[in-house]
Amino acid sequence: MSIIHTQPLTGPAVWKGPDFDGDESWIHRFTPETIAILEHALGELKSRGLSFPHFTKDDFPVHALAPEFQRYAEELENGRGFLLLRGLPVDRYTEEELNCLYYGMGLHMGTPVRQNPRGDLLGAVMNVGDVTQKTTRVYETNLYLPYHSDPSDVVGLMCVRKAMRGGLSSLVSVAAIYNEILARHPELLGLYYRPMYFAHLCEDQPSLSPIFSYHHGKLSCRYLRQYLELGHEIKGWPLSRVEIAALDLFDEIMHDATIRLDMMLEPGDIQFANNYAVLHSRTEFEDDPDPARRRKMIRLWLKMANARELAPEFPGRNGFPAPN
């Protein structure tokens, strides 16, 4: 088991939502020059008859933007753990063009990984699922999406259309949650380091992992309460009362308005977050009656070259294996 860190965490990854009142330094706006470079790369793809996802980093020549993409990767791993790109003129492009632009940017930031057994490299986050079916994933509905981390180093979410009402995106700093637990109930801290059964989407059976891991000076987290509860249910290993109390405390802290950062993603926004350092959520929403105007986000999972080294008992997961 990794060492239990018993001192308050410091650094840029420790933040609270109100810290950004009047501070938009986490928002990076697409400039006309950046858009021109991206559109030139898109034109190169078209001229060669290439389409999503059948092209490589070199096929999408945006090398002039390499310093920007490097800064983003650095901010995600060693900074706040999240950022927002704003102002991509999404209405200008077809669905195929948007996929190419987004995937092309992803190739220059990291390595896109598969999001389901079908092998999809981009996921459409829309209200298309049947809420009466247990197999329906929450992101395919308009229901509240609890705070969680995805099985990849980084998750990206591009807004194509927002909902008629609701659908607020929310982020919370794992380090801020940790410090609150340490301040309020330090006697519970060790429980989060104990391996627990998670029902992972990319595995046939629940597997063991702690919620917190502190390794080589960095705190990492894996969390989605319903997958923890489901994992223990499948294994026939009920959670103890003290474990439930620890999860209740975790949930209470991360839902605190003085902790979380809420934002409404506008069309053309792309939100990136480090899945080890930041948990993300979304409020319920109401869609437009017109199917063509319904809320649509496009999700990207990235494996990063500069990702932290993880402890042996906190195995990394980067998407689903290639379909047979």
Confidence at residue 14, expressed as pLDDT on a 0 to 100 scale: 98
* Residues 277 and 220 sit within 8 Å (Cβ to Cβ): yes
Average pLDDT, the chain: 92
- Residue with the bigger pLDDT between 138 and 302: it is 302
How would you classify residue 298: left for phi > 0, otherwise alpha for psi between -120 and 50, otherwise beta? beta
> For the segment 169-206, what is each residue's pLDDT rounded down to a tens digit?
999 999 999 999 999 999 999 999 999 999 876 677 88
Find the range with the poorest average confidence among 29-33, 114-118, 154-158, 287-291.
287-291
Average pLDDT over residues 233-244: 95
pTM for the predicted model, two decimal places: 0.93
Indicate the pLDDT class of residue 56, thresholds 50, 70 and 90.
very high
**Starting from the edge strand earliest in sequence, which strands make up the sheet with 261-263, in order?**
145-148, 278-282, 169-173, 261-263
* Residues 198 and 237 sit within 8 Å (Cβ to Cβ): no
Confidence at residue 140, expressed as pLDDT on a 0 to 100 scale: 57
How many angstroms separate the CA atoms of 133 and 151, rounded? 23
How many angstroms separate the CA atoms of 27 and 87, rounded? 10
Residue 55 has pLDDT above 90, yes or no: yes
Which helix (H) or strand (E) segment is 136 a member of? none
Range 13-34 burial, b when 16+ CB lie within 10 A, else e = bbbbbeeeeeeeebebebeeeb
Percent of the chain exceeding pLDDT 70 equals 92
Q: Other C-beta atoms within 10 Å of 117: how many?
A: 13
> Domain 18-303: which CATH class?
alpha beta
What are the DSSP E strand ranges found in 196-289? Answer: 196-198, 207-209, 212-215, 218-221, 261-263, 270-274, 278-282, 285-286
